[in-house]
Amino acid sequence: MRFSFKRDEPQVLDAEPTRAECPHLVGADIAGVVHGERVGGDFYQFARATPTRVLFGLLDVAGAHKENHGIVEAANQTFREKGPECLASDRLNEADAMMEFCHELNVTIVRAASGVRTCAAFVGCYNEDLGTFSYVNAGHTPGLLRYGSDVSELAATGMPFGLFVGSTYEAPIAAVPRGGALLLVSRGVVEATHKKEEFGLERLKQQLEQTPLTNAHDVASAALQAVRQYAHSAATKNDLTTLALVRPRPSKGA
């Protein structure tokens, strides 16, 4: 199966199901962008659960691409199939459903790896009616939530997937205000180095503060552009993946 996907270059088609088509959202915009060589196991994924509820995730399976490819594929299948199942009911408790979904992802990775294989992940469920999202940060780089000039961190709420079948996860709820944005980045973004100094989370936060919140693809691409300018050619030698969700202000007269 072929999927279209967003890159920081003209859109292309790729045979890998690790590259997912970005869904259309009402009142918001979401996009994922990939840059650099496919050397590791980070990927983004989306799945619509209901007419007003969309799952999104940025995951990073440890190890080289050639050895973790099967695990990535198994996680993708669970994301696309189990996610909508867990979040389908209109009457569910969204936080409980997210915890159940993340348990399914965790078990899938443990079984596909036939043992321990760390997978840091940030998985969320966006509610288009409310402009909120419930999320699990399983040992992932903090998500960055911007409103105005304030950027807050969404830190880990549990251990990475792939360690223990019985792991449990908390799923808090956050809001993306009108005129706000959520940015997720893979570990390779914050760990990109120049003269032995990492790009780091603080530089990423400063960059997000200055980025116009026009649309999700531009916000995700701007983060990659910043790290490329910082780390130069070193930024092409690792997986660099970003995901952004932007909720623009209503246009005047709307």
Q: What pTM was computed for the model?
A: 0.89
The one-digit pLDDT tens for each residue of the chain (254 residues) are 222 334 343 333 233 434 578 899 999 999 999 886 666 788 999 999 999 999 999 999 988 888 889 999 999 999 999 999 999 998 899 999 999 999 999 999 999 999 899 999 999 999 999 999 999 999 999 999 999 889 999 999 999 999 999 888 999 999 999 999 999 999 999 998 888 899 999 999 999 999 999 999 999 999 999 998 998 765 566 778 999 999 998 776 55
Considering the domain boundaries, does residue 241 fall inside one?
yes
Is the residue at 86 inside a domain? yes
CATH of the domain at 215: 3.60.40.10
In whole angstroms, how far apart are CA 175 and each of 33, 127, 134, 146, 207? Answer: 23, 9, 9, 10, 21
In 3D space, the residue among 182, 164, 186 whose CA is nearest the CA of residue 18 turns out to be 186
Domain that holds residue 161: 3-247
Asked whether residue 125 is assigned to any structural domain, the reply reads yes
Domain for residue 215, yes or no? Answer: yes
Q: In this structure, is residue 252 part of a structural domain?
A: no
Contact by Cβ (8 Å): 145, 152 = yes
Tell me how many domains the chain contains: 1
Asked, for residue 113, whether it belongs to a domain, the answer is yes
